[in-house]
Chains A and B, each alone.
Chain A
Amino acid sequence: MKPHPLAPKSQPHPLAPSPKIGEGGQTPPPCPSPNSGRGFRGEVRKRTPRWASLLAIVCVCLIAAYPTLAQIAVTADDVNRVAKQLYCPVCPNETLDACQTQACVQWREEIHTQLTEGQTAQQVIDSFARRYGERVLATPQDPALRALSVYTPFILAGIALVIAVLTFTRWQRANTSEPHPPTPSPKGETDTRNDSYRSILERDLRE
């Protein structure tokens, strides 16, 4: 259906249809238009309550006191390392680390939160796969799907190789059982046993 040319401009979702429901049945939030409220600079400033500031100070002290806990400090690079292994559940074929939409910014924040809570990269990936389905992974986790996806090309390559070897064998058998008459090459080809590189080259060039 053609868009109404005189209608006011709407700002629909930039890339994709409505998101599909993942295995866990949860619908991912729609990828909002990047320009909605200039999502690029989408940091919403809120006044922090005083009690929250105190709590944060206590948390920082606790982290400083326990070196093992302090290791959970998560950088943007840590987040990107995980996000690189996940595909945006809504945008087509874009990894989460590269996707510029506001929804993906939120998903990266979620990865940050989960890593900060102490989850491993694999646990974060698993949680995304549970919620949004296999499509968020670069390779499916389901054993049947994984086998179907990853091994099929090698099986196909193997079949192609077997066909090639059978072809060679058939050719060689045909060649030995029915020795070809010494048909000269259409363009005066010489015997391949000729040991001079120059003559081989000249023959190649002549052909």
Chain B
Amino acid sequence: MLAEIGIVTLGLAFLAAIYAIIASVYGARIRSERIILTGRNASLITFPLLLLSCTALMAALLTHQYQIAYVWQVSDPSTPTFYRFTALWGSQQGSLLFWCLLMSLFTFFATLINWRRNRPLMPYFIAYCMATLAFFVGLVLFVENPFVRYWLTPDLTANSSVLAYLFIPPNAQAPEALGLAQTARGLNPLLRHFGMIIHPPMLYLGFVGFVIPFAFAMSALASGDLSTNWIKAARRWSLIAWLFLSLGLLLGGRWAYDVLGWGGYWGWDPVENAAFIPWLMGTAFLHSVMIQEKRGMLKVWNMFLVIFTFSAVIFGTFATRSGLVESVHSFAQSGIGIPMFLFWGSITIISVALVLWRWNTGRLSDERGFAGMISRESLFVLNNVVFVALALAIFWGSFGAPILSELVMNTDITLGKSYFNGVTAPLFVALYILMGIAPLSAWGATSARRLGKSMLVPIALTLITLVITFVSGTRDGGALFGYGVVIFAGYVAIYETYRGAVARRKNTGEAFPLAMIAIFGKNRRRYGGFIVHLGITVIGIGVIGSTLFQVETQRTLAAGETLELGGYTLRFDGLDMNQIAEDSRVMDIANLTLLRNGAEIARLRPRHDFFPQATGMNQMNIAGSHSTIENDFYVLLASSANDGSTVTLKVYINPLINLVWWGGIILILGTLISVAPSESVRVKERESVGSRMGAAA
């Protein structure tokens, strides 16, 4: 019954999306309000339908319906309830369905919120959103259906009597439930981690969130309403998508650090990069959009940025799910590769063609000229150049070069950390320098003297910090340079916030804390942005510290033996072997004592998990770590003797690594502040609603 509910609701959602596209476009063309409204309602109904479909699959997972092939593939009777929830996105079919649900959720709210405010754009907005949704729902329905069931047909031999079909074949019956339960595969061990309940949904929300700004941009092009309306509508949705994508990337890094067992959080893996590229493009757009809002410039560029951000999202999804690249993250090779490639190619070409068409008609020309080289807009353009160069370099290393070399030179190559670190490091340096200078410049134009003067305090603070860092023992020139560039950007963010509060205090006579609160209330976007910059600074310090100063060693120890690393002493006390967990994993746990200056500071229990039931990757190394703001003492149990008398430990000291997570939290906090509507905007909205009501009366 659950499978039938899932299939029917999925089918209805597909039909509703198709109808919404036709009704919205046709209604807009013939200016029929009634038809447009039916299109809107059809688009809104996709969310409850897909919610029902997802609920049916979730119920099947929770109630052990192993006749449904997806349930059989991602769970078994020993799977705890917690992981039965996460199994919804534990494999290709379920995660695609979940992706569709989130996309319909975004469309649902964006449609309701913007229906009155951006009325002329909405029919085309709905058409674009529904076209994307219909494509993905179609994939789920026709190619990767999670409701396919196993059936026994009496006319076949016992060895091949089980068939996977969506509908009941003639004379078929359901296989014995017990047999199915005994052979069920269980969830991929790598996904049995708390972070996996949050990481994929956040990443998917970030990905599908960029459908909204893309649909607004395309609706502006299609409708001819090329004022700043689409920018205003798209900006906040871009920020929301960016927030979720940032969260997804951070949680993914944390998951990799905890579960993948290599002592790091970012491996430049193609799938990580596939999520990072839209983040870079989206960040470029969030900066560039300000130039269009404030100066009426870069209209074409903003269109391209929105298109390529969305294009990067679709390409990333295609690369991850089609088996185009090999990765520890990627889903198995499946039949969705060609349709996804065609969708990605066609939507990119159509969108670019629309921009070029409107550009040729002169509807996208700049409203103002360029006032001077030293201005915020010129620095933002440079910032955009760096972001796009970063995205291109990462795309090239992850997909471009490996695919091209295989196609043209018939040679399979891998571009690894050395490539990415070497290519991206100078670009990141440029980015941090711009992040420091741009907030000090003015819109329009500023003089070099004024800019230099406003940089004096942050530069002085940076130099003092560097001297302290040098005196405290950091002598590496590259590291000091990196810290200097990053810290400068952070000091600028703090200094500008401080100057804003001081200016406010002088104007109003308020106390400094009140003035600080007031400026955040007055312009959350600006000061939230500074907090985001501060978060990026803290992340930068963490990345430099943990990359340049990581130390590691590998040693085999017998019980009672110790190893020394970076002023710490690690003692092996014994091994707890063959511990069975609730989900039937078998664990070997090393008992270790961490000492510093002879005093015990922590007990660590790194472990090796083995999943006897699982196919594929069936083991994990879960690190034991002692975290301080200074560093992480991170230990992996690499191997152990059969009798447990000795263990081989891989030990890392990751300096400042926790700043990466703390910086991430600051970044999220800043984004939340920026997303919230500021006081002035709310007042304007109230006034505008009031005036509309007055006019109506």
Query: A residues within 8 Å of B by Cβ?
Result: 2-12, 14-16, 20, 33-35, 38, 40-43, 45, 75-77, 80, 85, 87, 91-95, 97-98, 100, 105, 133-140, 142, 144-145, 148-150, 152-154, 156-157, 160-161, 163-164, 167-168, 171-172, 174-175, 178, 180, 183, 189, 192, 195, 197-198, 200-205, 207
Q: With a CB–CB cut-off of 8 A, which chain A residues contact B381?
A: 164, 167-168
A-B pairs with lowest CB-CB distance, top 3: A138-B416, A171-B370, A92-B326
Q: Contacts A6-B179, A100-B619 given; indicate if A201 touches B499 (C-beta within 8 A).
A: yes
**Contact assessment for A93 and B69 in the assembled complex, using a CB-CB cutoff below 8 Å:** no
Given contacts A40-B640, A160-B388, A172-B370, contact A197 B416 (CB under 8 A): no
Contact check, A16 vs B419: say whether CB atoms are below 8 A apart. Answer: no
- Report if A145-B180 is in contact (Cβ < 8 Å); known contacts: A98-B261, A153-B392: no
Interface string of B285-308 (1 = CB under 8 A from A): 000000001100000000000000
Residue B339 CB within 8 A of the other chain: no
Chain A to chain B contacts (Cβ below 8 Å), 24 pairs: A2-B164, A35-B619, A41-B642, A87-B414, A91-B328, A92-B327, A93-B267, A100-B621, A134-B405, A145-B405, A149-B413, A149-B419, A153-B396, A156-B393, A157-B427, A161-B389, A164-B385, A171-B366, A172-B370, A172-B373, A192-B446, A201-B503, A204-B443, A204-B526
- Residues of B contacting A3 in the complex (Cβ-Cβ under 8 angstroms): 73, 185
* Given A20-B412, A76-B553: 5 more A-B contacts, CB < 8 Å: A35-B619, A92-B328, A152-B396, A172-B370, A204-B443
Please measure, in the bound complex, the distance between the C-alpha atom of A3 and the C-alpha atom of B73, giving whole angstroms.
9
Q: What CA separation (Å) do A33 and B618 show in the bound complex?
A: 8
Q: Judging by beta carbons under 8 Å apart, are A9 and B610 in contact?
A: no
Number of interface residues of B (CB under 8 A): 103
A-chain residues with CB within 8 Å of residue B503 when the two chains form the complex: 197-198, 201-202
Q: Is B170 an interface residue (CB 8 A)?
A: no
Q: A168-B370, A192-B446, A201-B499 are in contact. Are A41 and B416 (CB under 8 A)?
A: no
**Interface of B toward A, CB cutoff 8 Å:** 66, 69, 72-73, 148, 150, 160, 162, 164, 175, 179-180, 183-185, 260-263, 267, 269-270, 293-294, 325-328, 330, 366, 368-373, 375, 378, 381-382, 384-385, 388-389, 392-393, 396-397, 400-401, 404-405, 409, 411-419, 422-423, 427, 442-446, 450, 454, 499-500, 503, 506-507, 519, 522-523, 526, 552-556, 588, 608, 610, 612-613, 615-619, 621, 639-642, 648, 680
Task: Decide: A150 near B419, CB < 8 A? Known: A160-B385, A205-B523.
Answer: yes
Least CB distance, A158 to chain B, in whole angstroms:
9
Q: How far is the CB of B563 from chain A (nearest CB, A)?
A: 11
Residue of A nearest to B368 (CB): A180
Cβ contact within 8 Å between B552 and A80: yes
Give Cα A34 to B180, complex, Å: 25
- Asked if A160 meets B389 with Cβ closer than 8 Å, knowing A6-B162, A180-B368, the reply is yes
> Which of B369, B397, B618 is A153 in contact with, Cβ under 8 Å?
B397
Asked if B641 and A15 make an inter-chain contact with CB atoms under 8 angstroms apart, the answer reads no
Query: In the complex, A136 Cα to B415 Cα: how many Å?
Result: 9
Do A153 and B411 form a contact, CB below 8 Å, given A9-B183, A80-B554? no
B72 touches A149 (CB 8 A): no
Contacts of A157 in B (CB 8 A): 385, 389, 392-393, 427
Among A85, A136, A150, A205, the residue within 8 A (CB) of B522 is A205
Closest to A154 in B: B423
Question: Contact: A139 with B419, CB < 8 Å?
Answer: yes
Q: Which residue in chain B gives the minimum CB-CB distance to A42?
A: B639
Residues of A within 8 A of B506 (CB): 198
Interchain CA distance A180-B419 in the complex, whole Å: 46
> Which residues of chain B have C-beta atoms less than 8 A from A137's C-beta?
413-414, 416
Q: Which residue of A lies closest to B506 (CB)?
A: A198
B330's closest neighbor in chain A, by CB?
A92
- With beta carbons under 8 angstroms apart, the residue of A2, A93, A150, A192 that contacts B442 is A192
Nearest chain A CB to B650 CB, angstrom units: 8
Q: Is the CB of A2 within 8 A of B69?
A: yes
Partner of B370, one of A42, A98, A175: A175
Q: A148-B401, A148-B404 are in contact. Are A38 and B416 (CB under 8 A)?
A: no
CB atoms of B393 and A93 under 8 A apart: no
**Which residues of chain B come closer than 8 Å to A167, judged between CB atoms?**
381
Q: Given A98-B262, A175-B369, A201-B499, does the pair A135, B150 have CB atoms closer than 8 Å?
A: no
| A77: contacting residue among B263, B294, B554, CB under 8 A | B554
Which residues of the other chain, A, contact B443 by a CB distance below 8 angstroms? Answer: 189, 192, 203-204, 207
